[in-house]
Amino acid sequence: MRLVIQRVRSGSVLVEGQPIAQIGQGLVILVGVGHQDNEEKARLLAEKTAHLRIFEDRDGKMNHSLVDIGGEALVVSQFTLYADTRKGRRPSFTEAALPEQAKPLVECFIEHLETLGVPTQSGQFGAHMLVKIENDGPVTILLEQ
């Protein structure tokens, strides 16, 4: 799995012009699933994400996690994180898992975040989404398992 994690002041997702998810302070997490991924990887990445110390303390140092600040998460599936651009100009997505494998793993990731006490919303799997991200910092972290 590949994650792009952005620390945000707010984030939201619209599908066909209608809002389907919205968060305040927390993380917008773009999730890509590959062929070799499984539930264990999804749970490990959820644990790492929830406890990743990327929120500032009173001294301006990144010492607090999403759990520490009581923040929210917005999870958006994004198969394009597995784009292979080594040849030509058109990305290949052959390393991305098919929807029937990817969707349950994204759901597993979301469920595990929630069991860790993180209020979590999500985009709509497979839909064309407009994702609004108010990146705070900016802080963007790449995680891969």
Positions marked catalytic:
78-80
- Residues near 6 by Cβ (< 8 Å), separated by ≥ 6? 27, 28, 29, 30, 133, 135, 138, 139, 140, 141
